[in-house]
Amino acid sequence: MRKRKGIYASKMKRATHMLFYKRHLKSGVKGWELHKALGVDYPKVLDILDDYLKPLDLQVKIVFEGKKTSAEKPSIEELDKARFYITLRGELAPKETKMIGWRIDDLAGLAVIISYIISKKGQAPRKDVEELLSEKLPKWKVGINIDRYIRYGYLQQDDNEQLYLDWRTHAEVNEKALINLLLRSEVQTSLPSENLSEEENAEEQEGE
């Protein structure tokens, strides 16, 4: 038992080194690399590492390239093709966003683009995205910001100027939570006018 624990401790240490230190142009580690370095039980090693990272508000995040075919637990073949990252488990507080060197409006612009591309089934013409973003940001800043999002790995652009979500969005952004947040925000924005009493509506119309 002690020997087995020692083996897993050694493997976990190796996995930590591979995940925390950037070794390629793109961050993260492919599953097949972990498989080769740690053995066929590398998913279990990563589960143990994930538990150790919880008190630090970090997690091991899996990003599948393409669609995951298994309905439930992914197969070892699917994991080998996936990419693994160390990311935040929770969320940054508003004050903490200053640490990453981004303005709030830059982050808001990125959120708008991500949600728009998701709504367009994963791709959108850059021209359409620029028009959308120009409603939120000064026009001179739109192109600069989109190029920045591409450079940092949140978006990718093909030769036809179609924009897609890139690896960093998939690794760092909870896309489902983002969409739900935007939907709640939209509902809350529309509620005040819809919930006015008849008397308040009458006063509003007189004011007009």
Q: Say yes or no to pLDDT of 151 above 80.
A: yes
Q: Which residues of 159-196 are buried (b: 16+ CB within 10 A; e: fewer)?
A: eeebbebbbbbbbebeeeeeeeebeeeeeeeeeeeeee
> Of 21-35, 79-93, 141-155, 193-207, which gets the smallest average pLDDT?
193-207
| 3 state DSSP class of 61 | strand
Of 67, 90, 113, which residue constitutes the final position of a domain? 90
Angle at 175 between CA 113 and CA 90, to 5 degrees: 115
Q: Is the pLDDT of residue 181 over 50?
A: yes
What distances in angstroms separate CA 90 from CA 24, 49, 52, 53, one per listed residue? 26, 17, 15, 12
Is the pLDDT assigned to residue 72 strictly greater than 80?
no
Cα→Cα distances 122→38, 149, 170, Å: 34, 16, 12
Q: What is the distance between the alpha carbons of residues 203 and 17, in angstroms, rounded to a whole number? A: 66
Domain count, the chain: 2
pLDDT in tens, 41-51: 999 999 999 99
- Residues 84, 101 share a domain: no
Which CATH number fits the domain that encloses residue 153? 1.10.10.10
Q: In this structure, is residue 15 part of a structural domain?
A: yes
The residue ranges of DSSP E strands in 8-142, in sequence order, are 29-30, 58-63, 83-88, 123-125
Task: List the single range of 2-11, 64-73, 144-153 with lowest mean pLDDT.
Answer: 64-73
Q: Are residues 67 and 109 in the same domain?
A: no
Instruction: Select the more confidently predicted residue: 163 or 135.
Output: 163
pLDDT for 59 equals 92
pLDDT at 123: 94
Looking at the structure, do residues 83 and 45 belong to the same domain, yes or no? yes
**59: β partners:** 87
Indicate whether 202 belongs to any domain.
no
pLDDT score at 33? 95
pLDDT digits (tens, 9 = 90+) for 98-123: 666 678 888 889 988 998 999 898 99
Are residue 85 and residue 141 in the same domain, yes or no?
Answer: no
Q: Are residues 86 and 99 in the same domain?
A: no
The domain in which residue 21 lies consists of: 2-90
Confidence bin at 205 (pLDDT 50/70/90): very low
